[in-house]
Structure 1
């Protein structure tokens, strides 16, 4: 199928249209010149015939000269000719009855040329029927012109066809040469090394574009290098204190009595340090290219249950129940750290923003759904749903009532956080090639779905 948005095809189409317009201009000029010549020849022939008829027959109301020439004194001419004739040769369609040997009478469509002419005090209308043989001895030029007219028309048709064909071939060949530098630039940009040095020296617009892309690539490479160094340095510097904290919490827990009330706090310290270490690992994975990551088969059910268990403390003082629905054990080829971070953020949001009702986590063979009966997301916030540092506050309109959330309502739902949760989840989905969708529930709350197949 022809791609009309292709630069090469646009060039070919433009060149073909230009050739067509040029041919149309030449054809129009030819037709105009042919018409003017024919009118002048007809006019000269009829005036000649008028002079010859007057010399031969004297003053007559109608002169008939074979073949096809008839001259009327103005008041003897047909009314239709009197109404339209002027000093310019005009043309009208007429039908002639032609006698044949076998078929009797045959009708033929042709043209009638006519014009008005004043000679002293007398006016005449001179007519000539086209296509009738003219006596060569009287006016051979008109006869020759009418014979050559069809030859000129056929020649012009062939010239137009050849011109368009040449234009199509030339535009096809020249467009390849014009587009070739762009294709070379495309291949250079798509290559892994992105080496544009062979194109940056070109003096054309392609060289300017190649230099701009090369400069931009260098800046991006420097930026990515700085980001990777920063991520690596931060992870290295944080892992050491986290390891110390986890080791210290284990030592402290081992020295406490079995029934000590401090055991819960030491376990919490160790678990939090371990979770932070996993978060750092997940962020490091996000900084790598997706194709460079291994994706082991990971149990979705196990990660969901572990995250629900880890975040249950958020429901401690709420009348909210949590239910995990899965008909069987489901798995996906994904890094467990990334899946854990994505599901953890969705479940944490559902627990934090739901004061009453339930949170249902459904797993099937194509998606993971986290449904809650909580606050929901107002329509005004939907365009910023996955933006960084955007959080639900009383500044946003309540979708159901169209009024702002009250400060009291906002206090009940004020939670710790930076507004990065959904942004991180969306980034993880893009990194893994999965899809994240949101749907508002009719009874209130939200449903976030992760499509992993």
Structure 2
């Protein structure tokens, strides 16, 4: 295409220079020479302004519209600047195929070649784009196929991952890294399950001994002995610890492996309130369980007991006066208290392990009255595991735990089980 354009320019230039020489010999010095077909030569001073601006020594083309016998015709005007003995000329040639074919057959051939080359170039570009699209589509499939296989292997519990680890490509390297990491994770999980099972097994024996000893001790006491309260506490604590161990053992298993019998939420709530009522013994705090009917949920009672027990225990511990209300309905279990509430600074760490919700965490608060009012809560004993355990149980069961601060003070925790 470039060669054709260059040759056409040289032909136009040669023809126009030849016509300039012929016109000078025939007419002498003039400001404008006109020669058929379609040739017009100007001295620079009288040339159209647009040609004066655009003309250079190289032949150029601009589109123009002319009137002929058949009406208006769109064509090309060829022009260039030429200097001769101090005089600058602008030579122009108006392209007309009929005239060119009759008078300049060689130039006509090159103009036809130009059209042919242009059309061929458009076809080649179109075909190239189509081939590029097809090739990109096919090659992308080949490139992404191993990645999709790797994704499928990871999503299907790594059933086909071993086949991909033998690939020499980058996908094989990635598959081997994932496989190695999976084996490490499997070992960690196995160790955790073994540890939980071993701990539960080893603790059951001393707990059974403590429980048996407390029953023997209780039988040796008189019915009205003040020591009976302590033997009951020992017996109840041993039973609760045994239930906690059972719940932790359930948490170490996959949720799909657990059976979920229908469990009475009301019974669990009332039982936990009664069990933890000793925390309110010396406080002006009341606790009420509100439920319109007996609600049930498909859940292991040990897990529900641990989750709800932790929420009620926190409400009892952090409420110095007022009331704690446990509300049960068809969608959620709500534990509302009028206690100290949770400061904003603790909210990002609400469900973190070993993060206490006591107000000793707010040492950077500037309001001294606020700190003094909350001082008693910092003395509450605890490990900072309660809410993290509840959150873990919720995740394990596919439930949701939410928190909301009360306008009048205190907190509301909700277990959404439907």
Distance 1:281 1:400 in 2: 41
Distance 2:416 2:279 in 1: 26
Distance 1:84 1:185 in 2: 62
Distance 1:196 1:332 in 2: 39
The SS at the match of 2:390 is helix
What residue number does 1:141 align with? Answer: 106
The SS at the match of 1:417 is coil
Q: TM-score, normalised by structure 1?
A: 0.85
How far the C-alpha of 1:118 sits from its partner, in A, is 1.4
1:277 is aligned, of 242, 264, 274, to 242
**Alpha carbons 2:5, 2:114 under 8 Å: kept:** no
| CA displacement, residues 146-201 of structure 1 (integer Å, 9 cap, x when unaligned) | 22323322222222222122112112222222222223323333344646433323
Q: Structure 2, unaligned stretches of length 5 or more?
A: none
What residue number does 1:183 align with? Answer: 148
1:63 is aligned, of 26, 30, 33, to 33
**Alpha carbons 1:378, 1:399 under 8 Å: kept:** no
How far the C-alpha of 1:414 sits from its partner, in A, is 1.6
Distance 1:68 1:308 in 2: 109
1:266 is aligned, of 220, 231, 236, to 231
What residue number does 1:89 align with? Answer: 59
| CA displacement, residues 353-408 of structure 1 (integer Å, 9 cap, x when unaligned) | 01122212121211111111111111111111111100034443399985695367
The SS at the match of 2:223 is coil
1:99 equivalent in alignment to 2:64: no
The SS at the match of 1:108 is strand
The SS at the match of 2:52 is helix
1:319 equivalent in alignment to 2:319: no
| CA displacement, residues 297-354 of structure 1 (integer Å, 9 cap, x when unaligned) | 1111111111111111111111112122222221111111001100000110011001
Distance 2:78 2:164 in 1: 67
| CA displacement, residues 210-249 of structure 1 (integer Å, 9 cap, x when unaligned) | 2212221221122122111111111111001111222222
**Cα pair distance change 1:155/1:423, threshold 3 Å:** same
Per mean C-alpha deviation after superposition, the further-off stretch among 178-187 and 136-145 is: 136-145
Distance 1:44 1:393 in 2: 99
**Cα pair distance change 1:34/1:379, threshold 3 Å:** farther
**Alpha carbons 2:359, 2:378 under 8 Å: kept:** no
1:409 equivalent in alignment to 2:374: yes
**Cα pair distance change 1:238/1:82, threshold 3 Å:** closer
Distance 1:122 1:322 in 2: 112
The SS at the match of 1:259 is coil
Distance 1:206 1:157 in 2: 40
**Alpha carbons 1:298, 1:333 under 8 Å: kept:** yes
**Alpha carbons 1:134, 1:143 under 8 Å: kept:** no
**Cα pair distance change 1:33/1:293, threshold 3 Å:** farther
**Cα pair distance change 1:35/1:398, threshold 3 Å:** farther
- How do residues 292-441 of structure 1 correspond to structure 2 at under 5 angstroms? 292-397=257-362, 406=371, 409-441=374-406
The SS at the match of 1:63 is strand
Distance 2:290 2:261 in 1: 24
What residue number does 1:3 align with? Answer: none
What residue number does 1:251 align with? Answer: 216
2:47 is aligned, of 77, 81, 85, to 77
1:123 is aligned, of 63, 88, 93, to 88
**Cα pair distance change 1:230/1:124, threshold 3 Å:** same
**Cα pair distance change 1:75/1:179, threshold 3 Å:** closer
Distance 2:102 2:195 in 1: 104
